[in-house]
């Protein structure tokens, strides 16, 4: 529309400029043309009409880039890694050094903080009942996350008080969250972000609490996956002004790349709704495919972003994760749509202090064994995540520059058959 409007405006301006020259030539006796003098008239009544042309320039469509990452799991060894950079206490931000520019570069970056946070750095523990130091949450804020999903099967590892302490810590450090609440009122209040003039809502829910049961009068502490409740929250968000609603689902089977029946059932019960626009998945500890339901996207699983899982305990792919960036664009009707998804493979380098690596096979700055692993992770992630969609659908491997442009890693072909 804009080039066409500009062309019309240029024509109009040229037309009026020519008319001005024509009028000046006809009325100026020094213009060099033969113009006869008008006869003298005793009485003349003249009416002049002035026409003002107003040009309306439409604002450019609103856009935003959202970034989502996988599970943050403070296993005991990960907690110890956070002590390597300070004399006392913890600092986990250095573990994000390679991925921080990507997180900070997003217009809205959301993490998945899977476990309770200790309010006073006491009673810390790893698997199976987690409790992480405050610095674990602080690092998420420091490296550029704008908020986090909290609902997971470990959210209630420390009971009522642990859930409340986690909320308190996030409130004190100023990191927004979804999926847990300290009251019914907070649970129903939509979590809204204003991103480049776009109002985005975030909802988070989990499939279970590992057998723990919340008190009947405190069911608001952690949101469970109940499609009707999720739709209710999403409707409230839309009525509160949300233009785009994201739901983080903690679901699936551990170490399984393919979505299971419950994921498909919950997807069918939620994403087709007019109130939900995007689903982001966690929990499987390995990456899962990206797909669409109609024109709306689902990222079934982002894998592990930071953890101690590996082939030693689980599967080799549990060291894999990804950063998914979702491109939003305002359409001609003023509605916000997701028009593309880009993903960057990542790998937890357990042998080098649990640094989160960008798994780019074109790198040359790492030891040969690590570079070999970058290629393995890249291929493995590509094979799974792009198993259903490809570039023609708007899914690319790498970080897209702007909606519609190719990704920075898309030219790096996987070594496998994909």
What is the predicted pLDDT for the residue at 9? 30
Q: What is the spatial distance between Cα 132 and Cα 82, in angstroms, rounded to a whole number? A: 11
Long-range contacts formed by 170-174: CB under 8 A, 24+ apart: 170/117, 170/137, 173/134, 173/137, 173/138, 173/141, 174/141
What is the predicted pLDDT for the residue at 20? 37
Q: What is the spatial distance between Cα 230 and Cα 276, in angstroms, rounded to a whole number? A: 9
The separation between CA 346 and the C-alpha centre of its own chain, rounded to angstroms, equals 16
Q: In tens digits, what is the pLDDT along the chain, a chain of 418 residues?
A: 333 333 323 333 333 333 333 333 333 333 333 333 333 434 444 455 556 666 678 889 999 999 999 999 999 999 999 999 999 999 999 999 999 999 999 999 999 999 999 999 999 999 999 999 999 999 999 999 999 999 999 999 999 999 999 999 999 999 999 999 999 999 999 999 999 999 999 999 999 999 999 999 999 999 999 999 999 999 999 999 999 999 999 999 999 999 999 999 999 999 999 999 999 999 999 999 999 999 999 999 999 999 999 999 999 999 999 999 999 999 999 999 999 999 999 999 999 999 999 998 888 899 999 999 999 999 999 999 999 999 999 999 986 544 445 555 544 434 433 3
Q: Residue 211, by phi and psi: left (phi above 0), alpha (psi -120 to 50) or beta?
A: left
Give burial (CB, 10 Å; 0-12/13-18/19+) of 2: exposed
What is the predicted pLDDT for the residue at 363? 86
Q: What is the spatial distance between Cα 115 and Cα 156, in angstroms, rounded to a whole number? A: 8
> Strand pairing partners for 383?
none
What is the predicted pLDDT for the residue at 51? 61
Q: What is the spatial distance between Cα 105 and Cα 297, in angstroms, rounded to a whole number? A: 22
Tell me phi and psi for residue 265, to 5 degrees. -65, -45
- Closest by CA position to 210, among listed 126, 153, 128: 153
Q: What is the spatial distance between Cα 88 and Cα 85, in angstroms, rounded to a whole number? A: 9
What is the predicted pLDDT for the residue at 48? 54
Domains for the chain: give ranges and CATH numbers.
63-397 (3.60.21.10)
Q: Which secondary structure element, helix H or strand E, spans residue 186, and what is its range? A: helix 184-188
């Amino acid at each position: 529309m804009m080039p066409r409007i500009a062309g019309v405006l240029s024509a109009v301006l040229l037309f009026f400029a020519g008319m001005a020259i024509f009028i000046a030539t006809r009325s100026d006796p020094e213009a060099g043309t033969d113009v006869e003098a008008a006869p003298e008239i005793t009485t003349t009544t003249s009416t002049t009409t002035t026409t003002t042309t107003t040009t309306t320039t439409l604002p450019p469509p609103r856009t935003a880039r959202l970034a989502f990452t996988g599970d943050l799991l403070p296993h005991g060894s990960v907690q110890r890694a956070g002590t390597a950079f300070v004399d006392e206490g913890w600092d986990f931000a250095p573990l994000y050094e390679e991925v921080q520019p990507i997180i900070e570069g997003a217009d809205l970056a959301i993490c998945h903080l899977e476990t309770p946070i200790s309010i006073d750095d006491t009673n810390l523990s790893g698997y199976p009942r987690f409790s992480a130091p405050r610095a674990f949450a602080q690092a998420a804020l420091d490296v550029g996350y704008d908020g986090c999903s909290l609902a997971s099967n470990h959210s209630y590892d420390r009971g009522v008080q642990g859930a409340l302490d986690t909320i308190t810590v996030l409130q004190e450090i100023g990191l927004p969250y979804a999926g847990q609440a300290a009251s019914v009122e907070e649970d129903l209040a939509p979590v809204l972000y204003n991103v480049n003039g776009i109002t985005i809502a975030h909802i988070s829910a989990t499939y279970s609490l590992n057998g723990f049961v919340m008190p009947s009068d405190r069911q608001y502490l952690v949101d469970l996956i109940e499609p009707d409740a999720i739709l209710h929250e999403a409707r409230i968000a839309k009525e509160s002004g949300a233009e785009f609603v994201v739901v983080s689902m903690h679901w699936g089977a551990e170490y399984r790349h393919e979505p299971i029946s419950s994921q498909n059932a919950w997807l069918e019960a939620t994403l087709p709704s007019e109130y939900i626009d995007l689903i982001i998945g966690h929990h499987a500890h390995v990456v899962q495919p990206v797909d669409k339901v109609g024109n709306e996207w689902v990222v079934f699983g982002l894998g592990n972003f930071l953890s101690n899982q590996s082939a030693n305990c689980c599967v080799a792919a549990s060291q894999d994760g990804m950063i998914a960036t979702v491109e939003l664009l305002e359409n001609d009707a003023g509605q916000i749509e997701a028009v593309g998804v880009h993903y960057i493979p990542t790998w937890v380098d357990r042998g080098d202090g649990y640094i989160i690596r960008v798994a780019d096979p074109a790198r040359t700055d790492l030891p040969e064994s690590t570079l070999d692993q970058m290629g393995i992770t890249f291929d493995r992630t590509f094979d799974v995540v792009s198993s259903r969609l490809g570039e023609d659908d708007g899914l690319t491997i790498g970080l897209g520059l702007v909606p519609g442009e190719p990704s920075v890693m898309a030219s790096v072909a996987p070594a496998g058959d994909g």
